[in-house]
Amino acid sequence: MSENVDTTLAPRTTRPPASPISRLFESKQLGWIALAIALLIPLLIATPYSLNVMTTAAIFVLLASGLNIVVGYCGLLDLGYIAFMAVGAYTAGIIAKAFDLPLIFTIPAVIIMTVLAGLIIGAPTLRLRSDYLAIVTLGFGEITRITANNLSITGGPSGIFGIPGLLKIGDFDLQEPAVFYYVTVLVVAAFVLAAARLGKSRLGRAWRFVREDEDAAEAMGIHTYKVKLMAYIFGAVWGGFGGILFAAHLSAVSPQSFVFLQSALVLMAVVLGGMGNMRGVVIGALVISLLPELLRDLSTYRYLVFGLLLVVVMVFRPQGFWPARGYEPERMGDVSDRRLAKGTVR
Amino acid sequence: MTVVLEVKNLQIAFGGVKAVDGLSFSVDAKEIIAVIGPNGAGKTSAFNCITGFYKPSSGAVLLYGQNITGKRPADIAAAGVSRTFQNLRLFPDLTVLDNVRAGMHLYGGQNWLDAILHTPRFKRSEAAYTEEAHHWLDFVGYSGARGVPIRNLSYGQQKHVEIARALARKSGLLLLDEPAAGLNYTEKRDLLDLCQRIRELGTAIVLIEHDMGLVMELSERIVVMNFGKEIADGTPAEVKANPAVIEAYLGKDDDEEVSARGDA
C-alpha cells in the first residue's frame, strides 16, 4: 500500500464514471429513487419499533448532512456538533411548552438561536487552524451540555418533557408515528437537497477553496473568515432543525442526549460515508444509525461487531464509502463550438 | 499614464533579518516590470507584503493612489491585485475549471438562496462562470482535460491553470512569482507571448524571474534587489550596465553561470 509515500500531489487512481452501475450511482435521479424508497418502506414494515428506528435514522441523516457542510465542504473539524442540535431542541422545547404552541411555530426562534450559537462559537474560534479548532469545538460541545444540565430553564438533568407535537389540526395529528415519519423524511430530504445544492454553488466552491488552500483562496479575494463563518452558521441551522425533529419525536429533551459520543457518531457518519459528497454522507449516516439496530440479534456483542465493521471499512476504504469525485463534464457542449465559430479561441 | 502600483520605502523584518529593506518602485498601466536578485534577496517577501500576506514593518503600498498597506489579502485582491505563487498553490482535489472559477469568486451574481432554490439567476450565473473559465483556459493556451482534478495534471499544465486563475480575477495588476521556473525553451517562448497578450488586456505585470534572457526581452524596467535592499531600477540596458548590479548579481565570474542556468 502507499501509506508511506507522500501522495499529496500524486494522481489518484479515481477515474471518471464508466460502468453502468457507476453511471446509475452518479445519475441525477438517484436522490429521487432514494426518497421513493424511504417513503415506500413503511408499506412493508410499519411496526412501532421500525418506524421509531427509521425516524431516528432520518433525523441522523439531517445531522450528518449539516456536519458535512462544516467538515466535508469547508474542512473545519467540529467535534461538538451535537451542541447545535441541543440548542435547537431546547429552544423549540422551552418555547413550545411555555406558550403551549405546536413545535412548528418555534422554527423562527430556532433559526435565530442556532445562527446566534453558530456566530458565538464560530466567531472567536474560526481564526484557529484545524487541530486547535477541533479541541475548542469539543470544549464548546461539552459546555453546552453542562450548561443545559445546570440551568433551571432547561429543566436540569431531567430535561424538559411533555413537549407539544409538531402540529395538530382537528383530528389530523402530525405526531401520529407513520405521519411523523413521512414528515421527517420529507423535511430531511429537503435539507439534504439544499445542502447538496449549496455544495455546487459559488459559496460551496468557496468552502472547498478554503478547505484545499486557505492562502490561495484569500489571494483570489475570498474572505476566508466570512466563508468559514457561513459554513458554521449553515451547519448550526441544519443541526437546529434536527433538534426540532428530535424534540418532536421524543417529546422530551434531556442533557444525556447530547453527550460527546453523539458528536463523534455524526462525525463518523460523515467520514465513513465520504467527506464532501452528500450522497456518501447519507449512506454513512444510515449505516451508523441502522447497523446497531440490525445487529440487535447479537445482543451484547453488537457494539463490538459494529466497531469491527467500522475499522474494516476504514482499512479498505480510507476515503469513505463514496468520496467526493473531482470530475465534471469537459465542455458544456455548444459553448466551445460557439466560441470557435466566433473565433475567440486562441 | 496612470500609476497602478506605487511601493514606497517598503520594509519588513523577521527577527533581526531585514528581508526587505527600503524597496521603492512604481508600475504604470500596461507596464511589465521584473524584480530580480539572487536567492534570498527578499523578492518573494516583497510580493507577500504587497499582497497582504505579510504586514510590512514600515513603508507604504499604494494601488491607484489608495493606501492598501497591511490590509487583508482578500481586500487587496478585491482592490485589484492578483498573483501566482512561487510553488504552485492550486486546489489539488478540485477540477481545472473549479480552480479557474476561484478567480471569479468576486463576480458574485448569485447568493445562497439562489443556489438552494436553483433560480434562473443561479443557472445563468453558473453558465457564465463556466464559459468564462473556458475562456481564460483558452486564453493561456491550456489544452489538457478540464473536468479532471488538478493533481492529475503535469507541472507545466498546472502553471497554465494558475495563470488562468489569476487572470480570471480581471485585475489591473498581476504579480507573477517565477512563472518560467521549470519550463522548457518552447514553453518559455509561449510564456513571453502570453505576457504580451496579458499586457494588451490592459493589465500591468510585475514578475520575479531568474531567467535573464526572458527578463531582458520581456520587461520594460527591472528592479534589482540584494540582501533586501534595492540596488538598481531602470531599463534592461541601464541595469546591465550598472556596476552595482554587475558586482552583486551579474558579476564577471557569475555571468556564465547565470545565463547557463537561465537557458537550461
Per-residue pLDDT averaged across A19-45, rounded? 83
Residue A297's CATH number: 1.10.3470
* pLDDT (0 to 100) of residue A202: 95
Evaluate whether the domain defined by B89-170 bears CATH number 3.30.530.20. Answer: no
Per the CB < 8 A criterion, the answer to whether B45 and B19 are in contact is yes
Percentage above 90 pLDDT, chain B: 70
pLDDT higher than threshold 70 for residue B261: no
Percentage above 90 pLDDT, chain A: 58
* A208 CA: distance to closest CA in chain B (Å): 8
* pLDDT (0 to 100) of residue A18: 60
Per-residue pLDDT averaged across B173-190, rounded? 91
pLDDT band at B251 (very low <50, low <70, confident <90, very high): low
Per-residue pLDDT averaged across A125-133, rounded? 82
pLDDT higher than threshold 90 for residue B96: yes
**Yes or no, beta carbons of A324 and B93 under 8 Å apart:** yes
Per-residue pLDDT averaged across B5-12, rounded? 93
- Residues in A touching B72 (Cβ below 8 Å): 218, 223
pLDDT higher than threshold 50 for residue A179: yes
> How many Cβ atoms sit within 10 Å of the Cβ of residue A309?
14
pLDDT band at A176 (very low <50, low <70, confident <90, very high): confident
Per-residue pLDDT averaged across B239-261, rounded? 66
Domains B1-80+171-264 and B89-170 share a fold: yes
Per the CB < 8 A criterion, the answer to whether B19 and B42 are in contact is yes
* pLDDT (0 to 100) of residue A337: 44
pLDDT band at A204 (very low <50, low <70, confident <90, very high): very high
pLDDT band at A295 (very low <50, low <70, confident <90, very high): confident
**Yes or no, beta carbons of A331 and B134 under 8 Å apart:** yes
pLDDT higher than threshold 90 for residue B249: no
Please enumerate in sequence order all residues whose Cβ is within 8 A of that of A189, keeping only pairs 6 or more positions apart, or say none: A31, A35, A38
Q: Which domain holds residue A221?
A: 42-327
Residue A251 is assigned to a structural domain of this protein: yes
* pLDDT (0 to 100) of residue A292: 84
Domain borders along chain B are 1-80+171-264, 89-170
Average pLDDT in chain A:
86
Q: Which amino acid is at B22?
A: G
Nearest to B73 among A219, A327, A329 (CB): A219
pLDDT higher than threshold 90 for residue A66: yes
* pLDDT (0 to 100) of residue B164: 95
Per the CB < 8 A criterion, the answer to whether B100 and B136 are in contact is yes
pLDDT band at A313 (very low <50, low <70, confident <90, very high): confident
pLDDT band at A2 (very low <50, low <70, confident <90, very high): very low
Percentage above 70 pLDDT, chain A: 90
* pLDDT (0 to 100) of residue B199: 93
Closest residue on chain A to B144 (Cα): A330
pLDDT band at A334 (very low <50, low <70, confident <90, very high): very low
pLDDT higher than threshold 70 for residue A345: no
Percentage above 70 pLDDT, chain B: 94
The CATH number assigned to the domain with range B1-80+171-264 reads 3.40.50.300
- Residues in A touching B148 (Cβ below 8 Å): 16, 326-327
A69 touches chain B (CB under 8 A): no
- Residues in A touching B114 (Cβ below 8 Å): 201
Please enumerate in sequence order all residues whose Cβ is within 8 A of that of B8, keeping only pairs 6 or more positions apart, or say none: B24, B59, B60, B61, B62
What are the residues facing A14 on neighbouring strands?
A: none
**Yes or no, beta carbons of A332 and B141 under 8 Å apart:** no
**Yes or no, beta carbons of A202 and B110 under 8 Å apart:** yes
A220 touches chain B (CB under 8 A): yes
Per the CB < 8 A criterion, the answer to whether B31 and B221 are in contact is yes
Average pLDDT in chain B:
89
Q: Which residue has the higher pLDDT, A143 or A23?
A: A143
Span of A197-206, A297-306, B148-157, B208-217 with lowest mean pLDDT? A297-306
- Residues in A touching B82 (Cβ below 8 Å): 219-220
* pLDDT (0 to 100) of residue A16: 54
* pLDDT (0 to 100) of residue A312: 87
- Residues in A touching B95 (Cβ below 8 Å): 326-328
Segment 268-297 of chain A within 8 Å of chain B by CB: none
Closest residue on chain A to B107 (Cα): A202
pLDDT higher than threshold 90 for residue A326: no
Nearest to B115 among A197, A208, A219 (CB): A197
Per-residue pLDDT averaged across A10-14, rounded? 47
* pLDDT (0 to 100) of residue B33: 94
Q: How does pLDDT run across B207-247, given as a tens digit for each residue?
A: 999 888 899 999 999 999 988 889 889 999 998 888 888 88
Closest residue on chain B to A13 (Cα): B152
Span of A114-123, B135-144, B250-259 with lowest mean pLDDT? B250-259
